[in-house]
Amino acid sequence: MEKDIIIIGGGPGGYVAAIRAAQLGAKVALIEADQIGGTCLNRGCIPTKALYKTAEIMQTLNKSADFGFQLDGFQLKMEKAQERKREVVTRLRTGVDKLLEGNGVEVISGKGSLVDSHTVLVTDGDGNTQSVQGKNILLATGSIPKRITNPGVDLPGVITTNEALELEELPKSMVIIGGGVTGIEFASILQSLGTQVTVVKYSPRILPPIDEEVIKRALISFRKLGFKIETGIKIKEIVQSETGLKVLAEGKKGPQDFAGEMVLLSAGRSINVDGLNLDGIGVAYDEFGIKVNSHYETSVPGIYAIGDVIGGQMLAHVASDEGKTVIEHIFGIETQINYDAVPTCVFSFPEIASVGLTEEETKKRGISYKVSKFMFAANGKALTLGEGDGLVKIIANEATHKILGVHILGPHASDLIHEGALAVTNGLTTADIICTIHAHPTLAESFQEAVLGVEGRAIHM
Ligand code: FAD
């Protein structure tokens, strides 16, 4: 039977697209080579956050005396933490499987390869093949860890994020190559759990999408947590040493080396187009992604692509939103994604979250703006939590008073950011936030106070 749409890849881009298409009455086939949920659910967002929770509990235990506890010691059983992580992942994956089934999506296990603009050949693990026909095809095959090619990357103990998520025993020390969001998240988790971490990064600053002032303040917190960050480092080679591994590099002042029991390669992601036969049928792409137009259609009419495989902001919520948007377009509903209002979160200690323009970007665009900052140290809820580090920084247009950017370093930043996302997406003004009563005592009061500060009306600063 011909499908209305064939989707290759069951990550947060592909499976959300499949459900949306089914909601719109389409006959859908979803082809998945590995496990439904993709990188995000199986090797990314969810397992990292399950381990982040273990790390957070460790931090809480370490400061339990401040809260009136006297503990006679405690021990981390990493295999138990891993078991809990696997349970969370399995529970969520079972839920997604049920949603797909409930919506009537036909899930086909195997690797999809394009035959023409209406046909996909699926090969399963045993080598059996079947041909699936459809009116449209959506490519949502995601990304894989980028392999750097320096000598020594294949040595035992040199791992990617995939293996780092499965560690049943933590190394005493770890060198993380890459200081992007994922590198900093792993550094925060591992350091909290007792591994001595050194992050080395080629570019002069870490966490490229985040406001510079927020990064400067985050660096103070990271130093307190205990991991080292070295920027401007060009990796030459990884070699074995008596204590494990050594990363030989060229630093700002000459040769430098970094020792660790293990080395984690976290220097970005490469698009996953392996075996898709893009060249065979003329779908244009380069190393940064499959080329698409504003409706996510590739150079071959009727074949669309979304998510990590088209590059850009490689985030699960971007993949899912693109999945919904492309399906709605195919079925005649036009919506558009505002890429200027995509929230980015870093699950470090403290958390970092950001939406809209950074101060640097606002200046670059020549917009006259006002900035206000409110420190969590002056927020009652943050102090009761014992988490008074950090701030909320607001950037607003000086003339229109619209909120342009929100940058948060502090407790639950990844949840708090959505008030900022609502403001930036909908062009809300400072007055809109000021007239919205915020409950007391909450962390969200810091957001309102920071906005009040833009207008010179803050009460608690
Ligand atoms: P993927 O999730 O990569 O899914 C693609 C799917 O396609 C896979 O299941 C793959 O098996 C399948 N596939 C590939 N080729 C074929 C083929 N030929 N035939 C059939 N199936 C195929 N993002 C966030 O927003 N928040 C986070 O906290 C976060 N944390 C992360 C932590 C880590 C360690 C990593 C690595 C990533 C993290 N990300 C996070 C990024 C997020 O995981 C990705 O942006 C997201 O998974 C992309 O979704 P996708 O659907 O485009 O691709």
Percentage above 90 pLDDT, the chain: 97
ipTM for this model: 0.99
440 is catalytic: yes
Tens of pLDDT, residue by residue over 335-355, are 999 999 999 999 999 999 999
H helices then E strands: how many in the chain? Answer: 14, 24
Decide: residue 201, CB within 10 A, 0-12 exposed, 13-18 middle, 19+ buried.
buried
45-62 and 78-102 are packed helices; what angle lies between their axes, rounded to 10 degrees? 140
CA of 96 to the centre of ligand 1 (A): 15
Tens of pLDDT, residue by residue over 357-390, are 999 999 999 999 999 999 999 999 999 999 999 9
350 prior amide bond cis, ω within 30: yes
Which of 141, 167, 320 most suits a substitution to test ligand 1, by most atoms within 8 Å of the C-beta?
141
Atom 47 of ligand 1 has which residue's CA nearest to it?
Answer: 40
CA proximity to 266, closest of 143, 183, 205, 170: 183
Decide: residue 255, CB within 10 A, 0-12 exposed, 13-18 middle, 19+ buried.
exposed
Length of the chain: 461
* Catalytically annotated residue among 295, 317, 407, 440: 440
Residues forming beta bridges with residue 129, ordered by sequence position: 123
Looking at every residue in the chain, the average pLDDT score rounds to 97
Predicted confidence (pLDDT) at residue 243 exceeds the cutoff of 90: no
Predicted confidence (pLDDT) at residue 461 exceeds the cutoff of 90: no
Q: What is the pLDDT of residue 349?
A: 97
CA distances from 364 to 147, 355, 360, 361, 368 (A): 33, 17, 6, 5, 10
Tens of pLDDT, residue by residue over 57-69, are 999 999 999 999 9
Q: What is the pLDDT of residue 147?
A: 84
Tens of pLDDT, residue by residue over 257-276, are 999 999 999 999 999 999 99
**And the tokens for 283?**
């779908």
Q: What is the pLDDT of residue 100?
A: 98
Atom 40 of ligand 1 has which residue's CA nearest to it?
Answer: 45
Q: What is the pLDDT of residue 1?
A: 62
